[in-house]
């Protein structure tokens, strides 16, 4: 139930508001919602409080399967270029976790193409 890469232009809050309109009761467990957040969103205590508020909003909207990657596009691109330096980098893909460098180049690009949300 994730937006198409690059189409979620109004922030993470807009994404969850949109996803909450889907008929969740028709899905066995809902569908995974993939969100990639900028590491700057958790840089300070206030930022972490904001993320906690965002998590509460997700729950209040009835969305129970959200997968987060908190990593910058820049870092992911570095991992593609120098995989030997990023062997321990794990990412959420689609209902599973994998080492980024073990993914195919297409799968890696798919993760990079997900919007890196800078705010809510």
Per DSSP (E only), the strands in 1-120 are 33-37, 66-70, 90-92, 97-99, 116-117
CA neighbor of 2 nearest in space, from 28, 25, 36, 26:
36
What whole-number distance in Å separates Cα of residue 52 and Cα of residue 46? Answer: 10
The CA–CA distances, whole Å, from 55 to 48, 50, 78, 105 equal 10, 9, 29, 31
Query: What would the pLDDT profile of 26-61 be if each residue is shown by its tens digit?
Result: 665 557 788 999 999 999 999 999 999 999 999 999
Query: What would the pLDDT profile of 52-107 be if each residue is shown by its tens digit?
Result: 999 999 999 988 788 999 999 999 999 999 999 999 999 999 889 999 999 999 99
Map out the domains of the chain as residue ranges: 11-115
Specify the pTM: 0.83
The CA–CA distances, whole Å, from 80 to 21, 41, 69 equal 36, 23, 16
Q: What's residue 83's pLDDT?
A: 98
DSSP 29: S
Contact criterion met (CB below 8 Å) for 2 and 33: yes
Q: What's residue 3's pLDDT?
A: 77
């Amino acid at each position: 139930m994730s937006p198409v890469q690059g189409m979620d232009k109004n922030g993470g809050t807009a994404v969850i508001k949109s996803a909450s309109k889907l008929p969740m009761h028709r899905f066995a467990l809902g569908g995974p919602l993939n969100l990639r957040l900028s590491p700057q969103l958790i840089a300070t205590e206030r930022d972490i409080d904001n993320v906690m508020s965002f998590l509460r909003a997700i729950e209040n909207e009835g969305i129970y399967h959200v997968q987060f990657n908190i990593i910058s596009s820049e870092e992911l691109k570095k991992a593609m270029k120098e995989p030997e330096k990023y062997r321990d980098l794990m990412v959420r893909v689609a209902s599973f976790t994998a080492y980024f460098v073990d993914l195919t180049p297409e799968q890696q690009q798919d993760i990079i193409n997900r919007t890196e949300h800078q705010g809510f």
